[in-house]
Structure formats: structure tokens, C-alpha cells
């Protein structure tokens, strides 16, 4: 493996220090943001060396629009009485310094692997029942093994926050795997970057199509923080705003409650790293929280990965069916999530359960603040809301009833409500203490990558779609990710990670 560090081709004249946003601080503990693109072949007439040189030089050009990606991510210095960005465990990115860690660029040659063997084509994955069992797809093979900064909520110096691996296969195919710290980019920000890099790369291959599929990036975390209600730099939380925020369907599971039954020992070191000194803690009253239901998440059980394809006509039918028994504004995604969540709960054996089950929805903030943030806003402006039902109700409710719940949950988060939520988060003692979601048998986490044009990424101007695009997700029980497919049938793909036994039942009854 060849590894090096890349920098913008035109670097800032002096160091720039930019505090990340209120919401960026809440996701530092999250799994990395990333994706893998697999392409059939290197362009004809271009040597392997020239191909790699063009990709690498175009990346350096693209970094001119994302210079902070090459910078040093670290915790901001704490200043008592300072602004909200100077409180404990607030991330800051410093770039334009000679000590910048850069973006890691690595090249790996998989001489014994053919790209064709890694994943079926889009049409093959969608054929028949539209089920592809992807257990054999090892995403770690296509991603750098370098740790990311703050991976343990402490170590960061000299570690690149963005890491890109180019994989070469024995049949002439290649893969591009990207991972980055979640607080620098959610999926949408990742795709702004990838589309801009791809446009620069196409130009280096003399393509006539050199325009990006997304608008120019805007990296200004303060724009989000300005949408918070009240005084976020003051000494205390506004009680009315805090009360409004804490009545929302937002979990407040506490990582610091290490005495909770079933607490995983492997999380203890990171949790300890996230705490201030004992002296500081003794002087602070922590905000309300609950213990996480660790006993409902069995880490020892095998988890399976399956991709499910739903064609456009099937989704349209599902939406109309849901609207007939629910709200008139139910979307195709609402209906699909209602349908698949019911199937997951049945497969998990909740049909007669009185215990609550939860659908945790990853919601973006760009369009939920006033004025709205642009689609090309760079950062991780997201949070997780949830709806809950008894297991029996979640299994028995119609698609329309559950889809209406999903729609109503999303509609609760108006700009005023989000402003209160941001205010509360800005005053949180440690943003990484609380987790707004969970996994295991009672929980499902949903994230959507729809309309991000992942299958329109073209680095060489061939206009050929990638064979397969894989969103980087932890292989944990209850992760569900929705993506536009590589097939032009108006449908969607669902990447589902589920307990092996439950997955078998779901594939029979979905």
C-alpha cells in the first residue's frame, strides 16, 4: 500500500481557525461518513500511472474549494465565560498551517480480486425479488486503515480527517473509497465534495462535461449557529427554550451512565475520554438524561447486510395505498419506511409485544432553519428524531397510519423548534454525552441518501455509471439506509443491517 498526504494546490496564506457548528459537535462520536464507488475499468489508452496522477492532481485542485479538509481537527481551547464555541469538547478545524496533516491518499493493488466478483450489476441486484445478500462485501477492504482524528475523543494531532483510498483490481476495474470524520461532513456534504472532485477529474481527462452536479461549497459553520434561539453565548440555558427542546421526540441516552445494565466495556475508554476533570464535574448540574437500554442490543449476535430494491411503480402504489388510509401529503419515502419498519418489527418477533419499539429518523437541518441553509452547506447539520409504538401496534398498524406518524414527526421540526433545540445543544456541558438514537432489537436507525446523485459520479468522462456504490455504515443490528439505485426505474435501494435470524424472517415476509 502506498500512502501519502495531499494538500490544496493553492494553500491559504496564513492559518485559519474555524469552530465547527453546534450540531457538528454532537456527532463527533458518530461512525465516519463515507462511501465506496466501484468502476468497471480504467479509460482505454490511459496508463495506470497516468490515471492515478490525474486523479491525484485533480483532488489537489478540488481541495482548493475545501481547504479545511486538509486541516487539523482538534478540540477548541476551553475558555470559562467565553462563547459557545469555547466550551468543553467543542471541535475546531485549523488549516493553512505548515503542520496541517493533509488528506490521506493511498493506493492499494488487489491482485487476486476481480471487481466483477465484488457485487452484481445494478440490473442483476434489482432482478427477481430485488434482493442482494451483500454479507460478503467487506467495506474495510476499500477504506484506509488509518484511524480518524478524535476517534477516541482524544487523539488527533497529525491525523488526517479525510482519507481516500484508490483500489486497483486484476480485471482492470478500480474503486474509490472515502471516509471522513462525521463532524466535517454528513452524506450531503460528502457528495458536494465528490461531485466537485469528479468535475475537476473529468477536466483532466479532457471531457467536455466539466461542470459539477452540485453548487459551490459553503463552509461557514456560524451560519447554522446563528439560527439558534436566545443567547447561546450567555452563562445559562434559557429555561423556556430548554423545556421546549426537551419535550421533542429526541432521545437523551447518556453515555456517561456506565453503571447501566449491559453497558459495553469496549465503550468505557472513549467515554472516560469525553469527560472533563472530576473537579469541573462536581461544580456542574448535568442536563436530564436516561440510561440506554443496553440489554436490548446483543453485540455477540451475527448481523447480516442485504440490499433491497423497490422499483418506482411499487413505490407509487405503496404511497397511494398509504394516502388512502393516512395523510394526503405522505411521500413515497414515508410509505416505504412505514412498510419496512413494520416488516422489521415482525421479523424481530414483536407482533404480540407491549414493549415500545422506535424508528429513529435522521433529519437534516438545512431546510429546517430560517433562512434555509444552501444545499451545498458543508458540515453535519443533522439530528435524530423518533417515533415510538408498542411492538404489537407497530406490526399491526397500516402503512398509512405509520406513514402519517412519520410525516407528523418530521413536520414538528419547524424553524422555531429547531432554534430551541440548537439553543439547548449549545449549552450542553458535553455534546458527546447524549445519543439521540440507539440500535438493537427495539430500535431502527434510518438515514436517507436520496437525490444525492451517487450513481452519477464520473471521474473520467465516460458517462458510464459505477457498478456499485456502497454507503459506509457500521454493520450493526438496526441500521437502514436509503439510496437512489443504479437502475433508471424510479425506484430506491435500501441497505439493511439486521440480526441474522431476523433478516431470514424478513426476506420471507417483506
Q: What are phi and psi of 387, to 5 degrees?
A: -120, 155
Which fold is adopted by the domain 241-451+474-508?
Chloramphenicol Acetyltransferase (3.30.559)
Length of the chain: 510
- Mean pLDDT, residues 453-468: 96
DSSP 270: H
> Is it the case that residue 510 has pLDDT exceeding 80?
no
Predicted confidence (pLDDT) per residue in 20-61, tens digit: 999 999 999 999 999 999 999 999 999 999 999 999 999 999
Q: Kindly report the average pLDDT of the chain as a whole number.
A: 97
Helix (H, G, I), strand (E, B) or coil at 4: strand
| Inter-residue contact 357 to 365 (CB < 8 Å) | no
Q: What are phi and psi of 504, to 5 degrees?
A: -60, -45
> What confidence score (pLDDT) does residue 149 get?
98
> What confidence score (pLDDT) does residue 1 get?
74
Sole residue written with cell 461542470: 211
d(Cα 160, Cα 359) in Å, to the nearest integer?
Answer: 34
d(Cα 345, Cα 446) in Å, to the nearest integer?
Answer: 14
Question: DSSP of 456-486, one letter per residue?
Answer: G--SSS--PPPSEEEE-----TTEEEEE--S
> Is it the case that residue 349 has pLDDT exceeding 90?
yes
User: In CATH, what number does 2-222 get?
Assistant: 3.30.559.10
d(Cα 343, Cα 503) in Å, to the nearest integer?
Answer: 10
- Mean pLDDT, residues 402-428: 98
DSSP H or E run through 443 = strand 443-448
- Mean pLDDT, residues 279-290: 93
Rounded to the nearest 10 degrees, the angle between the axes of helix 500-508 and helix 332-347 is 120
Predicted confidence (pLDDT) per residue in 105-138, tens digit: 999 998 889 999 999 999 999 999 999 999 999 9
Predicted confidence (pLDDT) per residue in 327-343, tens digit: 999 999 999 999 999 99
> What confidence score (pLDDT) does residue 69 get?
98
- Mean pLDDT, residues 392-402: 98
Which among 476, 441, 473, 497 is positioned nearest to 297, based on CA atoms?
441
Q: How confident is the model at residue 272 (pLDDT cuts 50, 70, 90)?
A: very high
Helix (H, G, I), strand (E, B) or coil at 252: coil
- Mean pLDDT, residues 209-227: 96
d(Cα 310, Cα 340) in Å, to the nearest integer?
Answer: 11
| Inter-residue contact 341 to 388 (CB < 8 Å) | no
Q: For strand 356-364 and strand 443-448, is the pairing parallel, antiparallel, or unpaired?
A: parallel
> Is it the case that residue 13 has pLDDT exceeding 90?
no
- Apex 138 CA angle, 132 and 139, nearest 5: 100
| Inter-residue contact 179 to 163 (CB < 8 Å) | yes
* Cis bond before residue 251 (omega within 30° of 0): no
- Mean pLDDT, residues 450-463: 96
Whole-Å CA distances, 28 to 36, 99, 289, 349: 21, 22, 19, 34
Q: Buried (b) or exposed (e) across 112-145, using 16+ Cβ within 10 A?
A: ebebeebbbebeebbeeebebebeebebeebbbe
> What confidence score (pLDDT) does residue 2 get?
86
| Inter-residue contact 57 to 486 (CB < 8 Å) | no
d(Cα 402, Cα 38) in Å, to the nearest integer?
Answer: 36
C-alpha cell at position 279 = 473537579
Region of residue 89 (left: phi > 0; alpha: psi -120 to 50; beta: else): left
> Is it the case that residue 354 has pLDDT exceeding 90?
yes
Whole-Å CA distances, 104 to 12, 405, 468, 502, 506: 19, 43, 23, 39, 40
d(Cα 470, Cα 321) in Å, to the nearest integer?
Answer: 31
Predicted confidence (pLDDT) per residue in 142-176, tens digit: 999 999 999 999 999 999 999 999 999 999 999 99
Which among 495, 498, 503 is positioned nearest to 187, based on CA atoms?
495
d(Cα 127, Cα 170) in Å, to the nearest integer?
Answer: 27
% of the chain at pLDDT higher than 70: 100
Start and end residues for every CATH 3.30.559.10 domain found in the chain: 2-222, 241-451+474-508
C-alpha cell at position 157 = 494531532
Q: How confident is the model at residue 12 (pLDDT cuts 50, 70, 90)?
A: confident
| Inter-residue contact 331 to 315 (CB < 8 Å) | no
C-alpha atoms less than 13 angstroms from C-alpha of 341 in its C-beta half-sphere: 37
| Inter-residue contact 217 to 70 (CB < 8 Å) | no
Q: How confident is the model at residue 11 (pLDDT cuts 50, 70, 90)?
A: confident
Q: For strand 103-110 and strand 162-169, is the pairing parallel, antiparallel, or unpaired?
A: parallel
In sequence order, the β-bridge partners of residue 434 are: 254
Amino acid at each position: 500500500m502506498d500512502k501519502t498526504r495531499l494538500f490544496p494546490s493553492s494553500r491559504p496564506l496564513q492559518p485559519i481557525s474555524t469552530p465547527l457548528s453546534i450540531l457538528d459537535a454532537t456527532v463527533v462520536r458518530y461512525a465516519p461518513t463515507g462511501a465506496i464507488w466501484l468502476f468497471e475499468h480504467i479509460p482505454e489508452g490511459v496508463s495506470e500511472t497516468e490515471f492515478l496522477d490525474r486523479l491525484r492532481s485533480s483532488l489537489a485542485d478540488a481541495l482548493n474549494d475545501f481547504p479545511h479538509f486538509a486541516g487539523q481537527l482538534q478540540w477548541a481551547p476551553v475558555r470559562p465565560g467565553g462563547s459557545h464555541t469555547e466550551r468543553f469538547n467543542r471541535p475546531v478545524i485549523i488549516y493553512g498551517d505548515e503542520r496541517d496533516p493533509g488528506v490521506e491518499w493511498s493506493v492499494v493493488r488487489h491482485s487476486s480480486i476481480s471487481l466483477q466478483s465484488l457485487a452484481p450489476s445494478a440490473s442483476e441486484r434489482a432482478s427477481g425479488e430485488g434482493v442482494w445478500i451483500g454479507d460478503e462485501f467487506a467495506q474495510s477492504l476499500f477504506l484506509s486503515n488509518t484511524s480518524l482524528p478524535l476517534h477516541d475523543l482524544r487523539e488527533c494531532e497529525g491525523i488526517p480527517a479525510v482519507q481516500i483510498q484508490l483500489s486497483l483490481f486484476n480485471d482492470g476495474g478500480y474503486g474509490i473509497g472515502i471516509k471522513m470524520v462525521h463532524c466535517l461532513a454528513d452524506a450531503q456534504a460528502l457528495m458536494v465534495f465528490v461531485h466537485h472532485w469528479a468535475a475537476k477529474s473529468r477536466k483532466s481527462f479532457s471531457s467536455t462535461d466539466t461542470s459539477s452536479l452540485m453548487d459551490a461549497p459553503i463552509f461557514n459553520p456560524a451560519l447554522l449557529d446563528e439560527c439558534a434561539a436566545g443567547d447561546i453565548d450567555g452563562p445559562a440555558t434559557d429555561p423556556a427554550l430548554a423545556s421546549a427542546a426537551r419535550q421533542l421526540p429526541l432521545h437523551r441516552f447518556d453515555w456517561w451512565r456506565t453503571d447501566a445494565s449491559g453497558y459495553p466495556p469496549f465503550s468505557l475508554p472513549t467515554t472516560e475520554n469525553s469527560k472533563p476533570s472530576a473537579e469541573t464535574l462536581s461544580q456542574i448540574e448535568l442536563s436530564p438524561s436516561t440510561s440506554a437500554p443496553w440489554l436490548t442490543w446483543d453485540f455477540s449476535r451475527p448481523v447480516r447486510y442485504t440490499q433491497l430494491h423497490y422499483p418506482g411503480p411499487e413505490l407509487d402504489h405503496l404511497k397511494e395505498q398509504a394516502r388512502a388510509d393516512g395523510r394526503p401529503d405522505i411521500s413515497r419515502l414515508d410509505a416505504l419506511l412505514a412498510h419496512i419498519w413494520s416488516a422489521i418489527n415482525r421479523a424481530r418477533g414483536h407482533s404480540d409485544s407491549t414493549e415500545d419499539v422506535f424508528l429513529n429518523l435522521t433529519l437534516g437541518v438545512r431546510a429546517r432553519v430560517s433562512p434555509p441553509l444552501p444545499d451545498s452547506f458543508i458540515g453535519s447539520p443533522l439530528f435524530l428524531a423518533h417515533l415510538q409504538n408498542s411492538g404489537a401496534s407497530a406490526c399491526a398498524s397500516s402503512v398509512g397510519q405509520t406513514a402519517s406518524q412519520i410525516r407528523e414527526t418530521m413536520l414538528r421540526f419547524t424553524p422555531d423548534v429547531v432554534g430551541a433545540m440548537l439553543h439547548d445543544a449549545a449549552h450542553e456541558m458535553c455534546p458527546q454525552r447524549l445519543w439521540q438514537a440507539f440500535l438493537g432489537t427495539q430500535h431502527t436507525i434510518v438515514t436517507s441518501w436520496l437525490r444525492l446523485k451517487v450513481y452519477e459520479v464520473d471521474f473520467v468522462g465516460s458517462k458510464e455509471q459505477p457498478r456499485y456504490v456502497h454507503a459506509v455504515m457500521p454493520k450493526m443490528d438496526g441500521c437502514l439506509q436509503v439510496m437512489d439505485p443504479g437502475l433508471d426505474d424510479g425506484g430506491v435501494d435500501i441497505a439493511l443491517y439486521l440480526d441474522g435470524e431476523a433478516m431470514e424472517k424478513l426476506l420471507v415476509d417483506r
